[in-house]
A and B are shown apart, each in its own frame.
Chain A
Amino acid sequence: MTESTKTPATTPVAKPEAVNLEDAVLVGGKVSAEERFYYASQWELIRWRFSRHKLAVFSLVVLVIIYILATFAEFFSPYTVDTRFDGFQQASPSKVHWIKPGGGFGPYVFAVKRELDPKTFRFHFKEDTSQIYPIKFFVRGERYKFWGLFYTDWHLFGIDGKQPLLLFGADKIGRDVLSRTLHGARISLSIGLVGVMISFILGVILGGISGYFGGVVDDVIQRIIDFLLAIPGLPLWMTLAAALPRDMPTLQLYFTITILLSILGWTGLARVVRGKLLQLREEDYVLAAKGAGASDWRIITRHLLPGFTSHLIVSLTFNVPGMILSETSLSFLGLGIQPPAVSWGTLLQDAQNLVAVAQQTWLMIPGLWVIGTVLLFNFVGDGLRDAADPYSR
């Protein structure tokens, strides 16, 4: 500016102090515990609010335990998946007793004898109270290859003696349902996580492209989503599963099923991502980042996605049980994981007939695990949703 003296109107351009006092807001320094709340990061706030949600915390702990059980299934289960106990076909669950007849305290089971009911021609398992088998912890039992790495024979618990410990009973060829449930948890639980991971990647990428770029790309992706949502899920899975070769190796089958589930699973997430991006891309700071020369990729990953990470995590948590249920239903119908591979779905296949429902109710125990896991995930998701909502108190 050169000759401002000629300005007809005077503007209040006063010589300011270098720093306006009002501007001199200080940050950091010593903060009291009360003030910590105001300076807490978003994640700290979410953690604090989540920890106040008792049911969610409890569910999270139980879920972690279940996942640990599944991860170290060989160790926690008393037998391997394929161990068959002759003479114990369709054995009912062993009853655990605590007070020993001769005095003393500790878990034990009685010996059982199989008897044929002359009227119904069904086998009954009767306890023989003369002989007790105490349940021991950290015992050496069957040899197994831990994670395919090394051989060991340590188990968390077991009993010595001629008869097996069947806490969840045995199936129709005499295999321990508890051991099989724990092993089956591996496929059922991991398919939820892996499937959600894949649909997360698909959903974020496609939803991101759709929401950020808009226009024709958006239209095309949205119509694809509409199309996928219009297809009834079960028939589609059945068709796809039927197209798979029967003799596929288990691992390959596992991943194929996971991908099949993800193909339909990503659509909801993509919608969430798109909606959020449509909203956030109008923010001034996106324009400012553009003005500073940031690339589209950088703007999406650094300025847009972090804005709704908490939403994403919540919707992921809600997606996991859906995946688990889908796998279970597919395997239950014999279209997913195939025996001899074990998942909760294949275990429930044994409980398909009326006889099982009426007489071998323990075969449905894997179903209880499915229900429990799904409920736990929903509780955790609920807690997370409340915690991630910045307006909740």
Chain B
Amino acid sequence: MAVNTNGTKNPLLIEVQDLKTYFFLHEGLVKAVDGVSFEIREGRSLGVIGESGCGKSVTAQSLMRIVPSPPGREVGGKILLHLRSKDSNVEEVVNVLELPPNSAKMRSIRGKKIGMIFQEPMTSFSPLHTIGSQIMEAVLIHEKNIDKKTARLMTIEMLARVGIPNPQRLVDAYPHQFSGGMRQRAMIAMALVCGPSLLIGDEPTTALDVTIEAQILELIKDLQEEFGMALMYISHDLAVVGQMVDEIMVMYMGMTMEYAKTDDIFDDPLHPYTVALWRSIPKVEGKLERLRPISGTLPSPYAVIPGCPFFSRCESRMKGVCDAALPPLIEAKPGHKVRCFLYGTSSAVSQGNDAAGNN
């Protein structure tokens, strides 16, 4: 098991060990997630950062076993979910990857234990049913002893909590009558109505404009504290994530590049990719500088790269070293992991579950 990096005593909620999710396409094999490990403790939060197509969303979908299959498949690793009921201390550890995606057990985890806010609020509601009936659906699926009337009341309460005005009336509104921000609020209500232990936000604000984005972020943070949930927040916006989470994992081409506490990443980013990400964000304070975007583009997802996947775009690359072998994920500083040869190559510090030099 990885070292307890955040130092809190909260019990573990989910441990992901060497998760590999591949897509078997006609054009070739896409290693969307290639050996990612992380853990989230109860009530804590993790931010997953990366460019489009780096495997953030697929990681989240793997946790819920909703990776489109075929062509996608979780080919390796473990996702250990610690299930605790609120009344007793009995703990049940389930390896989610061993459950069939359509099994009753897996369905009882989806929505009930793990709630997810999707990227596109505009299309994530069926146009045929009212907002209320779709939120109620989640309750009725998971709580067999709750009748429709109670479920409706719960829905109205939750809509009020996420800031929908006049929820008694809007519970019967159709999705097209809601604005984008309202729909994302409703989406959050749907994710939270069953009281999940882990909330996954898959770029929940990407489709929204900046003022609404700020409101939604605030709302998610408030609700996380209020419900004591763990949060996994996926975004390509480092600055946004910094406001939200305790720890940050930077991903690139399906691999973890850097994984540390938020403050450590912000104070002392180690990986050239993280540094480059920083430089590409405009700063409001301080000296006005020209933005420096990361040069080049992501390599083809079908490409087989023997060395570091960031090699072609890296400013600190070392020819003959970085393109020869994949750097292992090492603990450069206590609780601060990075995958880069700049911080040593010793296999002594590399993690056991990190197959060094695989290609």
- Would you call B173 an interface residue if the criterion is a C-beta within 8 Å of the partner chain's C-beta atoms? yes
- Given contacts A22-B181, A23-B181, A303-B126, whether A1 and B244 have CB atoms under 8 Å apart is yes
Q: Which of A11-32 contact B (CB under 8 A)?
A: 11-16, 18-20, 22-28
Decide if B110 touches A291 in the complex (CB within 8 Å): yes
Decide if A26 touches B166 in the complex (CB within 8 Å): yes
Chain B count of residues within 8 A CB distance of the other chain: 71
- Given contacts A285-B124, A295-B102, whether A11 and B243 have CB atoms under 8 Å apart is yes
* Bound CA–CA A283/B128 (angstroms): 13
Among A12, A293, A294, A295, residue most surrounded by chain B Cβ atoms (within 10 Å): A293
| CB closest chain-B residue, reference A8 | B266
* Bound CA–CA A289/B190 (angstroms): 10
Q: Which of B210-218, B296-304, B308-316, B331-339 contacts A (4 or more CB under 8 A)?
A: B210-218
B107: which A residues are within 8 A, CB to CB? 293-295
Q: Which of B231-262 contact A (CB under 8 A)?
A: 238-240, 242-246, 262
- Given contacts A6-B267, A26-B166, A303-B126, whether A12 and B214 have CB atoms under 8 Å apart is yes
B109: which A residues are within 8 A, CB to CB? 293
- Would you call A247 an interface residue if the criterion is a C-beta within 8 Å of the partner chain's C-beta atoms? no
A306: which B residues are within 8 A, CB to CB? 128
- Would you call A307 an interface residue if the criterion is a C-beta within 8 Å of the partner chain's C-beta atoms? yes
Please give the distance in Å from B130's CB to the nearest CB on chain A.
10
Q: Which of A270-315 contact B (CB under 8 A)?
A: 283-285, 287-296, 298, 302-303, 306-307
Decide if B163 touches A18 in the complex (CB within 8 Å): yes
Among B115, B221, B239, residue most surrounded by chain A Cβ atoms (within 10 Å): B239
A284: which B residues are within 8 A, CB to CB? 118-120, 123-124
Decide if A19 touches B283 in the complex (CB within 8 Å): no
- Would you call B165 an interface residue if the criterion is a C-beta within 8 Å of the partner chain's C-beta atoms? yes
- Would you call A9 an interface residue if the criterion is a C-beta within 8 Å of the partner chain's C-beta atoms? yes
Decide if A285 touches B123 in the complex (CB within 8 Å): yes
Decide if B128 touches A14 in the complex (CB within 8 Å): no
A252: which B residues are within 8 A, CB to CB? none
- Would you call B50 an interface residue if the criterion is a C-beta within 8 Å of the partner chain's C-beta atoms? no
- Would you call A215 an interface residue if the criterion is a C-beta within 8 Å of the partner chain's C-beta atoms? yes
* Bound CA–CA A24/B267 (angstroms): 41
Interface string of B283-321 (1 = CB under 8 A from A): 111000000000000000000000000000000000000
Decide if A23 touches B214 in the complex (CB within 8 Å): no
- Would you call A131 an interface residue if the criterion is a C-beta within 8 Å of the partner chain's C-beta atoms? no
Among A12, A20, A291, A295, residue most surrounded by chain B Cβ atoms (within 10 Å): A291
- Would you call A353 an interface residue if the criterion is a C-beta within 8 Å of the partner chain's C-beta atoms? no
Interface string of B119-161 (1 = CB under 8 A from A): 1100111111100001001100110000000000000000000
Among B215, B238, B278, residue most surrounded by chain A Cβ atoms (within 10 Å): B215
- Would you call A359 an interface residue if the criterion is a C-beta within 8 Å of the partner chain's C-beta atoms? no
| CB closest chain-B residue, reference A304 | B126
B169: which A residues are within 8 A, CB to CB? 26-28
Please give the distance in Å from A310's CB to the nearest CB on chain B.
11
Please give the distance in Å from B97's CB to the nearest CB on chain A.
17
Q: Which of A28-68 contact B (CB under 8 A)?
A: 28, 42
B129: which A residues are within 8 A, CB to CB? 302-303
Please give the distance in Å from A351's CB to the nearest CB on chain B.
50
Decide if B243 touches A4 in the complex (CB within 8 Å): yes
- Would you call B5 an interface residue if the criterion is a C-beta within 8 Å of the partner chain's C-beta atoms? no
Chain A count of residues within 8 A CB distance of the other chain: 46
Choose from B64, B165, B182 the contact partner of A291 (Cβ within 8 Å): B64
Please give the distance in Å from B146's CB to the nearest CB on chain A.
14
Please give the distance in Å from B248's CB to the nearest CB on chain A.
12
Choose from A15, A20, A285, A303 the contact partner of B212 (Cβ within 8 Å): A20
- Would you call A214 an interface residue if the criterion is a C-beta within 8 Å of the partner chain's C-beta atoms? yes
B244: which A residues are within 8 A, CB to CB? 1
- Given contacts A6-B263, A7-B266, A9-B239, whether A1 and B245 have CB atoms under 8 Å apart is yes
B137: which A residues are within 8 A, CB to CB? 289, 292, 294, 302
Please give the distance in Å from B83's CB to the nearest CB on chain A.
14
Among A2, A9, A10, residue most surrounded by chain B Cβ atoms (within 10 Å): A9
A298: which B residues are within 8 A, CB to CB? 141
* Bound CA–CA A272/B275 (angstroms): 53
A303: which B residues are within 8 A, CB to CB? 126, 128-129
B172: which A residues are within 8 A, CB to CB? 27-28
Decide if B221 touches A1 in the complex (CB within 8 Å): yes
Please give the distance in Å from B245's CB to the nearest CB on chain A.
7
- Would you call B187 an interface residue if the criterion is a C-beta within 8 Å of the partner chain's C-beta atoms? yes
* Bound CA–CA A150/B200 (angstroms): 68
Please give the distance in Å from B157's CB to the nearest CB on chain A.
15
Decide if A11 touches B181 in the complex (CB within 8 Å): no
- Would you call A86 an interface residue if the criterion is a C-beta within 8 Å of the partner chain's C-beta atoms? no
* Bound CA–CA A4/B169 (angstroms): 38
| CB closest chain-A residue, reference B240 | A11
- Would you call B178 an interface residue if the criterion is a C-beta within 8 Å of the partner chain's C-beta atoms? yes
B214: which A residues are within 8 A, CB to CB? 11-14, 16
| CB closest chain-B residue, reference A41 | B174
- Given contacts A16-B214, A27-B170, A303-B126, whether A7 and B66 have CB atoms under 8 Å apart is no
- Given contacts A9-B283, A11-B239, A291-B118, whether A285 and B125 have CB atoms under 8 Å apart is yes
Given contacts A3-B262, A23-B185, A285-B125, 20 further A-B contacts (CB under 8 A): A1-B221, A9-B283, A10-B285, A11-B214, A12-B210, A16-B218, A22-B181, A23-B165, A24-B165, A25-B178, A27-B170, A27-B172, A28-B173, A289-B126, A290-B66, A291-B64, A291-B116, A293-B142, A294-B137, A302-B129
Cross-chain pairs A/B with CB under 8 angstroms, 23 sampled: A1-B45, A1-B262, A3-B263, A4-B243, A7-B242, A10-B285, A11-B239, A12-B211, A13-B214, A14-B211, A16-B218, A18-B163, A22-B179, A23-B165, A26-B169, A27-B170, A28-B172, A283-B123, A284-B124, A292-B110, A292-B190, A295-B102, A306-B128
Which residues from chain A sit less than 8 Å from chain B, CB to CB? 1-4, 6-16, 18-20, 22-28, 42, 214-215, 283-285, 287-296, 298, 302-303, 306-307
Q: Closest 4 interchain pairs by CB? A: A293-B111, A16-B215, A284-B123, A293-B110
